[in-house]
C-alpha cells in the first residue's frame, strides 16, 4: 500500500545545531508540504513543492529550507535550530486531481 513516512519520529537537539527531518511518500504525488503544529495555532505551512526542483515558502518559512531532488522525498532542514522551533512537524502530499492531502505520522522535535 502507498504511504507517507517521516523520520525520525522523535528528535532532541541543541540550539544552533543543523537538523534534517525526512519525508518519503510512495503515492507518486507531485505535491508535498511541510507543516508545524503548535497549541493554539493549528497547522502552519512551512514550505511546499509542486514537483521536482520546485520549492516555495509558506507562512512560517524563516529558519527552514527544503529541496526536492526526486518525486518521493522532501527533506526539511533547520539551518540553526532555535527553541522556538520546538514543535510537531507533519509532512503531507497530494496529487493534481484534487487537493486532498495525505499526512505522515509526524516528527516531535525538541530544541534545548
Residue 33 CB neighbours (<10 A) = 23
Query: Least Å distance between CB 68 and another protein?
Result: 14
User: In whole angstroms, how close is the CB of 80 to another protein at the nearest point?
Assistant: 27
The span from the CA of 44 to the CA of 95, in Å, is 20
Gap between the Cα atoms of 46 and 50, Å rounded:
14
CB of 82 to another protein, least distance (A): 23
**Under the rule (CB under 8 A), what is the footprint of another protein?**
31, 33, 35, 40-45, 48, 50, 58, 90, 92, 94, 96, 98-106
Amino acid at each position: 500500500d502507498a504511504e507517507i513516512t517521516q523520520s525520525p519520529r522523535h528528535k532532541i537537539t541543541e540550539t544552533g545545531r543543523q537538523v534534517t527531518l525526512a519525508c518519503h511518500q510512495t503515492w507518486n504525488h507531485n505535491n508535498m508540504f511541510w507543516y508545524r503544529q503548535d497549541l493554539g495555532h493549528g497547522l502552519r505551512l512551512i514550505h511546499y513543492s509542486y514537483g521536482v526542483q520546485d520549492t516555495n515558502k509558506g507562512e512560517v518559512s524563516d529558519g527552514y529550507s527544503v529541496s526536492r531532488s526526486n518525486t518521493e522525498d522532501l527533506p526539511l532542514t533547520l539551518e540553526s535550530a532555535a527553541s522556538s522551533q520546538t514543535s510537531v512537524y507533519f509532512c503531507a502530499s497530494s496529487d493534481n486531481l484534487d487537493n486532498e492531502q495525505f499526512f505522515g505520522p509526524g516528527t516531535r522535535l525538541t530544541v534545548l
